[in-house]
């Protein structure tokens, strides 16, 4: 099959094609010509889960927030305010506190504590992260991590800029 696709449409396409074909597809592409703008390319419709404050992400907090969406961080990973820590199941952005730890008391609970059952996080390659981000997000690349973050880190400043 042959297609004419703009270069910006090829970013992230390889992983989707390999997934759809169970790893059997072979792709090759080359430049054909310059053409006028043809319109926007479909992007993700889900919102982001954004860290409320800096600190260490706890398994307890991630476990309680799993029904909100998929996470991109492991427990005990350092996060900062404005970092995108997951994908919201709905189309809006939500600020969540993944640094909240379980309160320890001297009292015994009447029932047994449930163990945290955490779904393994989504780990992006650089190409996947570039394909995934929205227009108000950046990909942060360091020697040890590839992270997603909002352009405006402060929640109040983000709300002010959206008005």
Residue 109 is predicted with a pLDDT of 63
pLDDT at 143 over 60: yes
pLDDT at 46 over 70: yes
3-class DSSP string for the chain: CCCCCCHHHHCCHHHHHHHHCCCCCCCCCCCCCCCCCCCCCCCCCCCEEEECCCEECCHHHHHHHHHHEEECCCCCCEECCCEEEEEECCCCCEEECCCCCCCCCCCCCCCCCCCCCCCCCCCCCHHHHHHHCCCCEEEEECCCCEEEEECCCCHHHHHHHHC
Tens of pLDDT along 56-101?
A: 999 999 999 999 999 999 999 999 999 999 999 898 999 999 999 8
Residue 111 is predicted with a pLDDT of 55
Q: What percent of the chain has pLDDT over 90?
A: 45
Residue 110 is predicted with a pLDDT of 58
Domain 48-101+115-162 sits in CATH at 2.40.50.250
Closest CA to 10 of 29, 32, 33, 34: 29
| Structural contact between residues 18 and 123, judged by C-beta atoms closer than 8 angstroms | no
């Amino acid at each position: 099959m042959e297609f004419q696709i703009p270069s910006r449409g090829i970013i992230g396409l390889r992983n989707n094609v390999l997934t759809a074909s169970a790893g059997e597809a072979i792709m090759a592409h080359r430049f054909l010509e310059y053409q006028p703008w043809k319109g926007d390319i479909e992007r993700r419709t889900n919102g982001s889960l954004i860290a409320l404050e800096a600190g260490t992400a706890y398994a307890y907090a991630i476990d309680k927030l799993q029904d909100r969406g998929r996470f991109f961080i492991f427990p005990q990973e350092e996060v900062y305010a404005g970092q995108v820590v997951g994908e919201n199941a709905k189309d809006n952005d939500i600020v969540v506190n993944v640094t909240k730890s379980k309160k320890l008391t001297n009292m015994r609970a009447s029932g047994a504590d449930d163990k945290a059952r955490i779904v393994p996080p989504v780990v992006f390659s650089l190409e996947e992260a570039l394909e995934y981000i929205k227009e108000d997000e950046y990909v942060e690349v360091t020697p040890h991590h590839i992270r997603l973050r909002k352009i405006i880190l402060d929640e109040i400043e983000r709300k002010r800029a959206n008005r």
